[in-house]
Chains A and B, each alone.
Chain A
């Protein structure tokens, strides 16, 4: 079966750094996506990785290791507005997105 695992919830302090991990087992791999979803809102695209390594985009970075079936999203200089759920999704061999259940990130002052 196909499986995406993420921690259910994480807590971090404003101004700090947090790393959200995602491990996956899917039938094929055609890229990994990270989305942000604020409570009661739609998911919005954050990052895309298809090759191994780190992709940096402002305060957010995403890392991929295809051989380990592993990715992480790194959020730096945390702000209160970063309180949200972060969804990991893998595009499988059928080019469909398989989604993790999401990690709820709580930022404390």
Chain B
């Protein structure tokens, strides 16, 4: 059982290019999340999905889009990358969205936009 996998592990991208970060979980969790982590800042929520077929905007959604066609996959797309999107991106999942539902994190994707 892998838990949550993310791809790629790291990527250097030219500004203006389109990029999709992949996230797959095999725990049959209903909820999935995308965060970015920048030095000196807490994890910031980009987009989330409480269940397959639904998505919502987090704290910093601009420049990013997501889809949730099935339970397992939750890709994050940067339509036209900018240098301020240089960050470490973590995908997470949780069984549901209740009080005690713990989020489990993937290994992260380190993205550099030049």
Interface residue ranges, A against B (CB under 8 Å): 4, 30-31, 33, 41-45, 48, 50, 87, 89, 91, 95-102
Interface of B with A (CB < 8 Å)?
Answer: 40-45, 48, 58, 90, 97-100, 102-108
For A48, the chain B residues whose CB sits under 8 A away are 100, 102
- The verdict on A43 contacting B43 (CB below 8 Å), with A30-B99, A48-B100, A91-B99 known, is yes
Known: A33-B102, A42-B90, A96-B48. 19 other contacts (CB 8 A): A4-B42, A31-B99, A31-B100, A41-B107, A42-B107, A42-B108, A43-B105, A45-B102, A50-B99, A50-B100, A87-B43, A96-B58, A97-B45, A98-B42, A99-B42, A99-B43, A100-B42, A101-B40, A101-B41
Q: Is the CB of A96 within 8 A of B102?
A: no
> Which chain A residues lie closer than 8 Å to B42 at the CB level?
4, 87, 89, 98-102
For the complex, give the distance between the alpha carbons of A78 and B90 in Å.
28
> In the complex, how many angstroms separate the beta carbon of B84 from the nearest chain A beta carbon?
18
Top 7 A-B residue pairs of the complex, sorted by shortest distance between their CB atoms: A99-B42, A42-B105, A99-B43, A101-B42, A45-B102, A95-B97, A30-B99
The smallest C-beta distance from A9 to any residue of chain B, in angstroms, reads 11
Set B98, B103, B108: member contacting A97, Cβ < 8 A:
B103
